[in-house]
Amino acid sequence: MTRPNEARNRGRLKVFLGYAAGVGKTYQMLAEARDLKQRGVDIVIGYFEPHGRRETIALSEELEAVPRKVLEYKGSRFEEMDTDAVLRRRPEVAVVDEFPHTNVPGSPRLKRWEDVHVLLDAGIDVLTTMNVQHLESLNDQIWQSTGVRVRETIPDWVLKQADEVVMVDLTPRALLNRLARGVIYAPERAQAALQNFFKESTLVALRELAMRQAAYAIESRLPDEEPSTAAGTSVAESQARERVLLVIGPDPSSAALIRRGRRVADYLQADCFAVYVTKTPDFRDLTDNERESLERHLNFARGLQIETRILEGKDIAETMVNFARIHGVTQIIVAREKPTALRSWFASALVQRIVNLARDMQVTVVADRSIRHVAA
């Protein structure tokens, strides 16, 4: 993981991935950190969350820790990683727990993964931890399978940029035994956990997602085998590249569509567009609230590294499909909006027009799902 200081450019990122609290991500990370120290590597703890787990705390005691920064917010004191202090200390490797964490307001950066990128840019290697449910593109899938809406997420491209992803595994039964013994949480918090992620069926589903994500991380790093054709071009180059187009708008269903589209594009290794068609150049056909909602969706898509476009045209379906054809789109994903008195017929007519016009492309119509339960 490390290399001589003079050869350093950007630091390397290693992520210990799990599917729930208590599987041993932090323990495994600290065990590796201790091993690196014993081999003479200059390593420090930038941030570590002990959660009262004695065995994990014992591992951390052998490592140098950079003091945290204390911030006040709404009359309370919070501790965050002092990124500037880690930079001044300039170790070869920094241990940074809880990669998706949201920093307290007043911090230099919104998310801890952004702090980690500052360290990487400075040439410092980083070991970090996260659970699979914090991936942004899985947010709706996690909610649909568990009934819990995860609030702290990271864009998928952040994990994709990791140099190494290691899944830390534990069977759901063993994890529930650890919970019952009080190893993971205190008794009162353990009871609350059993109502959310710590149902056995939920843990099984999350574990499968984590395994798939770890396998995808490995597969995406394997060198492509591209045997040359007689004409001197590779087979991959001779085939059309997959391109995905997401039909978005101000409706709330666009957020879920963007997540799904990002996931599909990642698996296909495809380019991805998020496109909105307006009939008027100044959006006169939208209310103020709809304009704000549309801008949120466009910014959300950009944050997931999806190329966004706003097109103008009187015929929305025709404008959308013409753009898709010009840009070599192979798959269009569009949401079927929830029925309302005003938009039910228009929404279904628009979807049907896109399907009819885009017969040379795959069109996926995604049903909008109503909210069952939301939890922090």
Summarize the confidence of residues 175-203 as an average pLDDT: 80
Summarize the confidence of residues 116-124 as an average pLDDT: 97
Tell me: the pLDDT tens digits for 245-257?
Answer: 999 999 988 998 9
Let me know whether 12 and 160 are in one domain.
Answer: yes
Q: Quick one: which of 134, 136, 115, 137 has its CA closest to 126? A: 115
Residue 26 clears pLDDT 50, i.e. is over it: yes
> Of 219, 245, 275, which one is at a domain's C-terminal end?
219
How far is residue 217 CA from its own chain's centroid? 13
Looking at residue 245, what is its pLDDT? 95
Let me know whether 72 and 106 are in one domain.
Answer: yes
Looking at residue 239, what is its pLDDT? 44
Tell me: the pLDDT tens digits for 318-357?
Answer: 999 999 998 889 999 998 765 554 455 455 688 888 988 9
pLDDT band for 228, please (50, 70, 90 cuts).
Answer: very low
pLDDT band for 189, please (50, 70, 90 cuts).
Answer: confident
CA atoms within 13 A on the CB side of 252: 7
Let me know whether 31 and 167 are in one domain.
Answer: yes
Let me know whether 43 and 185 are in one domain.
Answer: yes
Query: With contact defined as beta carbons under 8 Å apart, do 73 and 127 qualify?
Result: no
Residue 330 belongs to a domain: yes
Let me know whether 127 and 60 are in one domain.
Answer: yes
Looking at residue 219, what is its pLDDT? 64
Let me know whether 160 and 280 are in one domain.
Answer: no
String of DSSP letters for 280-321: STT-TTS-HHHHHHHHHHHHHHHHTT-EEEEEE-SSHHHHHH
Residue 250 belongs to a domain: yes
* % of the chain beyond a pLDDT of 90: 47
Let me know whether 40 and 187 are in one domain.
Answer: yes
Domain containing residue 313: 235-367
- Provide the number of structural domains found in the chain: 2
Euclidean distance between CA atoms 306 and 354, whole angstroms: 21
Looking at residue 376, what is its pLDDT? 28
> Of 188, 219, 250, which one is at a domain's C-terminal end?
219
